[in-house]
Amino acid sequence: MGPYPINGSRTMFGSEPIEVQAMGFKHSHPDLKMEYDTVSVHMRFPEERVATFVVGFATVLTTYYRIVGTKGEIIVDPSYNFDKAVSYTTRFGEGGEEEKTKNFPKVDQFGGETEYFSDCILKNVEPEPNGEEGLMDVRVVYAIKKSLETGKPVKLEPRNRIRHAQMDQLRSVSFGKPPKQKDVIGRDSEKPAVDATPDTR
């Protein structure tokens, strides 16, 4: 189970969950040798906010999220793919009569992450997504595991992060051209990464 929905919910709400409940399902697919191949999670946040997500290996591949509020909703589809362009649609009004879609160009997410991390090293500053940020995801994963084991909701000690993602962290890096096969060295290449000639001395 990847922490993308956990991290996304925490980031959008700007707060940490205070209760988690999970249900696991096991289908009869012979290739899925795991305790649960599909997990549904319900997270409760302060100020009466909730987030629900389903992750699984037995279902058709889909990656989207929907934010529903008192005045409308935002749908991001696709959302978690790193190799596709992203767009979102906003709908306002009771019947969603006010609808707008915004498209973003396809970018290299890993390139942007690497550039931001490099900037932090060069400027000698701590990255915003530091060890504490990772720990906040892990504590939720452990609560999900415990809820699956007990079949009950698991309360989490209230926590608050001082730092949150900011717009100045944004890096938009276009995809570069892949190298020509003749220039590739190592795996997936006819050229060895090191001299593979045996030493016969």
Structural domains of the chain sorted by starting position, each given as residue range(s) with its CATH number in brackets: 4-157 (3.30.360.10)
**Residue indicated by tokens 């209230």:** 158
Task: List all residues 6 or more positions away from 186 whose beta carbon is below 8 Å from its beta carbon.
Answer: 192, 193
> Between these two residues, 43 and 87, which has the higher pLDDT value?
43
Average pLDDT estimate for 70-96: 87
In this prediction, residue 13 carries a pLDDT of 93
In this prediction, residue 120 carries a pLDDT of 94
What's the one-letter identity of residue 86? V
In this prediction, residue 186 carries a pLDDT of 66
In this prediction, residue 142 carries a pLDDT of 96
CA–CA distance, 16 with 135 (Å, rounded to integer): 11
What is the per-residue pLDDT across 28-69, written as a single tens digit (0 to 9) for each?
Answer: 777 767 788 889 999 999 999 999 999 888 778 888 899 999
Cα–Cα distances (Å) from 194 to 100, 140, 183, 198, in that order, read 54, 44, 15, 11
In this prediction, residue 41 carries a pLDDT of 96
CA–CA distance, 46 with 156 (Å, rounded to integer): 11
Cut 0.85: pTM above it: no
pLDDT higher than 90, residue 97: no
pLDDT higher than 80, residue 195: no
Average pLDDT estimate for 139-155: 96
Positive or negative, the CA dihedral 41, 143, 49, 75 is negative
